[in-house]
Structure 1
Amino acid sequence: MADALFTANRRRVLGGLICAPAILAYGRARADGADLFGLGVASGDPSPDGFVLWTRLAVDPLALDGAGGLSGPIAVRWEVSADETFRRPVLTGDTVASADWAHSVHVEIEGLQPNRPYWYRFIAQGQQSPVGRTRTAPRHDAELDQLRFVVASCSHWELGHFSAYRHMADENPDVVLFLGDYIYEYSLGAERAAEVVRPYGMPEATTLAGYRNRYALHHTDPDLQRLHAAAPWIVVWDDHEVQDDYSGVWSKVPGVTPVDFLRRRAAAYKAYYEHMPLRRQVLRGAQMDLYRSVRYGKLAQFTIMDGRQHRSRQPCSDGPEGGKGRVVADSVCLDREDPSRTFLGFDQETWVYDSLAQSTAQWNIIGQDLVMAGLRLGSAGGAEPRYWTDTWDGFPVARERFVRNLGAINPRNPVVMTGDYHSFWTNDIRLDSRDPASPTVATEFVGTSVTSSGPPHDALNAMLPENPQVRFLDTRHRGYISADLDRRRMRTRFQVVSDRRDPMATVATLKAWAVESGRPGAIETSI
């Protein structure tokens, strides 16, 4: 297949700069023997002819300056093969890992065959990275029979091991959907020391170096590395990639101005890009356009929404708790119903409507970070209901507008996949969330956390009679969602690990659901 080989000298590959081997040799091994590829490899955002390949070079991943123990540019060769032995090379090229981007590498591959597996690796300074396996998406007009994807969110390093990632890799998914809180910016204090399984051992991340080191630490985890190397990822963030409960340009901390907070947010966003398999086109100055769609033939379209970056300030943010998400009642939070407030930002919202209107896919999977169906808290016995304002419940007019537009656009089989709440939910998204008799327009599955602690189980379940849109709620387990699609139905399993504190935890199915094509609303099935 010599005619299929090419280098970046013949064709520019997005994300890589042509390097001069005389200046930036990748043929010399490091004299100190330090491992350059200890953070693993990853791929993401598949298309019918390619994907993004990622790695980050570091010899001291947790160096205090966030530079990974390296300085200056380093030449990197990447290779893509049709087999895991690399006896059938398909593409190869050269790029440069620069200190400006923490020696991260993002190579955007194109020109491959659709809907088939490929293997990839990197070479630098005489060292070879681990081998990753990825897969191109089918052609947009392909008649795809089935698709498996897994969904995860909320992986707090201190609260457990990442066994869920290992079991997700064992499911052999076509694609991984990660819906936020890949890292946590803070460490548990002395009052929660008994909960710590493995400490972060570093202060709260507020600077570029601090965020880089959080990601680097996570990328050293073998189970996370295994899942990254097993399948392409589609990612979006939530709040802990920056700061708990932030909203747009507003910190949750009283007195922090948007100008000051944006400096912190820009550092966090840069570190996020440096450690994720994302295309360069998401970069827009100090912002990142993470809303996008990924198509899998005629069977499925993933529409990814960002519920953090573009939204309005949290309601009732002028009180003593500032912008921190709180449980409030309408009588003390009048601006919750303000129609000028937006959850997605109006540009993103318009894009989502256009994306769904143009979709011809059999299944439309909407991936996003916060519970959409909502939960009225403490409303039993005629008491005034209260709401957690950090979620869509803090933006009810924006939610009603979104759901009504979803009903009017009527894409085929919309299913919302959600992270954030450290618990499993199965929800009906109704045209009018205030009316239990309102028609269901979509099903929502909320995935639990990889390790993070859940909210009180008994207290929330006691509220379900007042929340008929919530069909199932379990906060006690950690794990992930596994979903299988074919033309007729979507099968969803809530997968739970036996003990987040056990690095060898086993996995079991807590609950299984089916959504039939043309019939919104989940049906419980046998495991």
Structure 2
Amino acid sequence: MTINRRRFLHLAASSVVAPALIGRAAGQERTWRSGTPFTLGVAAGCPRPTGFVLWTRLAPEPFVSESGLLGGISGPTIDVGYEIARDDAFQDIAVRGITSADRDFAYSVHLEVDGLEPGRPYWYRFMSGEAVSRTGRAMTAPAAGADLDRLRFGTVSCSHYELGYFSPYRHLADEHPDLVMYLGDYIYEYIEKRHPTVRAHSDGVEATTLPTYRNRYAQYHTDPDLQRLRAEAPGLITWDDHEVENDYGDQWSANFIAPEQFLLRRAAAYRAFYEHMPLSPRLSRPNGPSMRIYDRFDFGKLARVSMLDGRQYRSRGACYGPPRKGRGHLETAASCPELFDENRSILGTEQEGWLYLGFAQSPARWNILGQDVMMARLRTNEGDLRDAHWTDAWDGYPSNRARVLQHISDAKVSNPVVFSGDIHSYWTNDLKLDFDKPSSPVVATEFVGTSVTATPPPEEQMRRYARDNPHIRFFEPKFRGYVSVDLTRERMQTRYRTVSDVTDPQATVSTLKSYVVESGKAGAIEG
């Protein structure tokens, strides 16, 4: 039976169509020698009241050659069929149709869906030829102004493939969250040489080019635990540094590569990031080394989530230059007066203004920031480095931090809570207008999640720092895991979930610590 596109769309609108039939209509009777092109799974993201973004990538041979050849696939575009259903058995189809995968973006699909019912789950799958992808679960956000009772989400960051199995992803999937916030360091670009490895980056090279970044994402996405989490819960996504290069900022490489050269690397990294994430093609399609990922998401009147980009737009690192021996990125007011330049920003002028506008217009009881690096002040106490700032985090941009916290206070933003990653350890922090004054009011709470697998910071050094910063309520570096959050109108409960051993693919999970933030009361309490 031959079906042209017009006939296919008529059938799709009027009857139940077998997935294989949709796949053949989409794939022109295509046969995949490997059995399936959907080796990297499926994902959903960017939930809105009437839709979301669905992702997959056609990759019958997941890894790219050094020349950039995409194995087992050819042609400028390939049609891909899809179905979106109101039930997981696909008996009640809401939408079906054909979209396309473009060679220029490694045959990835970014399907921006609209016209659905607000505030409910949907199930989806893709088809090409006889091949059908695994089923994924997406959700639409509640309608604007809806009285949502509850939102359950998790946060994850810092998943280094070489250093362990992704069991935290599996255990978070077991909790069936409404959504997952990915807070950066989704991949690691380098090859581990300092610590024992559990499994290897397959190509054995640092990712610096489009083929090597593509291969890094492909390898991570062959992991069954990561595939499962992406299929079972929609994602809100930002990046940190390892998606490009350790400790980079804007056009400035931490290895002091000339900006015009570094921006070529950044363009390749951003393109590969887009190719593997459920991001909006309208908002986030990369343009060379530029790609917008900051965005906000409303969940009725219960929560507004603002996902920030703390890398692309930041001012050059304070006193940028080859690090002094023994100092790394640590600088004091005496060694680096530039630190306190009021014009310096970690967010950039446009994103900072966008954030303040979002605060002003927020209808939500809870206002949540998802972002990459720790916001709280971390005072050092090491000899001539006393009162130094770690310039790669918000501590390197104290004027920007002060502006954000002052704005939260002045605008009386309702229940602001910050979720951060990067530092491979758990932290519970009071965010204050003046971190040096114990009497200064708490304006927001920050929860920092540990890594999925990446190694912890120096424990004793960090414990000394934590003790000398009274706004730090809790610090623990020993464990790997994720953060699990249960949000209602009256309270937010945040649990630090830890796995028994990331070198064990069957690792178990437990709760290390639990905190509650009560609506209308800044600061976290154990509970």
Instruction: Provide the TM-score with structure 2 as the length reference.
Output: 0.92
Residue matched to 1:485? 487
Comparing 453-462 with 507-516, greater Cα deviation is found at 453-462
Distance 1:115 1:22, change over 3 A: closer
8 Å Cα contact 2:23/2:130 also seen in 1: no
Q: Write the deviation string for residues 242-289 of structure 1: whole angstroms up to 9, x where unpaired.
A: 0000011111112x2211111110110011000000001223522111
* Structure 2 residue runs without a partner (length 5+): 1-5, 13-21
Distance 1:354 1:25, change over 3 A: closer
Residue matched to 2:37? 36
8 Å Cα contact 1:63/1:69 also seen in 2: no
Q: Does 1:309 align with 2:312?
A: yes
The code of the aligned residue for 1:277 comes to P
For 1:201, what is the secondary structure of its paired residue? Answer: coil
| CA apart distance, 1:458 | 2.5
Q: Does 1:129 align with 2:130?
A: no
The code of the aligned residue for 1:478 comes to R
Q: Write the deviation string for residues 68-108 of structure 1: whole angstroms up to 9, x where unpaired.
A: 44221221001101111111111011111121110000101
| CA apart distance, 1:422 | 0.5
Aligned match for 2:438, one of 436, 447, 456: 436
Distance 1:83 1:205, change over 3 A: same
8 Å Cα contact 1:41/1:54 also seen in 2: yes
| CA apart distance, 1:387 | 2.0
Comparing 332-341 with 354-363, greater Cα deviation is found at 332-341
8 Å Cα contact 2:32/2:60 also seen in 1: no
Cα distance in 2 for residues equivalent to 1:100 and 1:7: 27
Q: Which runs of 4+ in 1 moved over 6 A?
A: 5-11, 21-24
8 Å Cα contact 2:24/2:130 also seen in 1: no
Q: Does 1:201 align with 2:224?
A: no
| CA apart distance, 1:507 | 0.4
For 1:458, what is the secondary structure of its paired residue? Answer: helix
Cα distance in 1 for residues equivalent to 2:503 and 2:471: 33
| CA apart distance, 1:181 | 0.6
Cα distance in 1 for residues equivalent to 2:244 and 2:174: 31
Comparing 133-142 with 371-380, greater Cα deviation is found at 371-380
- 1:109-508 map, 5 Å: 109-189=113-193, 191-192=194-195, 195-202=196-203, 203-254=205-256, 256-280=257-281, 281-283=283-285, 285-286=287-288, 287-320=290-323, 326-378=329-381, 384-508=386-510
Cα distance in 1 for residues equivalent to 2:120 and 2:237: 21
Distance 1:61 1:325, change over 3 A: farther
The code of the aligned residue for 1:167 comes to H
Aligned residues: 506
Cα distance in 2 for residues equivalent to 1:22 and 1:413: 47
Cα distance in 1 for residues equivalent to 2:422 and 2:396: 15
Cα distance in 2 for residues equivalent to 1:435 and 1:9: 68
| CA apart distance, 1:461 | 1.4
| CA apart distance, 1:459 | 2.2
Cα distance in 2 for residues equivalent to 1:168 and 1:378: 37
For 1:186, what is the secondary structure of its paired residue? Answer: coil
Residue matched to 1:14? none
Percent identity reads 49
Distance 1:10 1:457, change over 3 A: farther
Residue matched to 1:92? 96
Residue matched to 1:516? 518
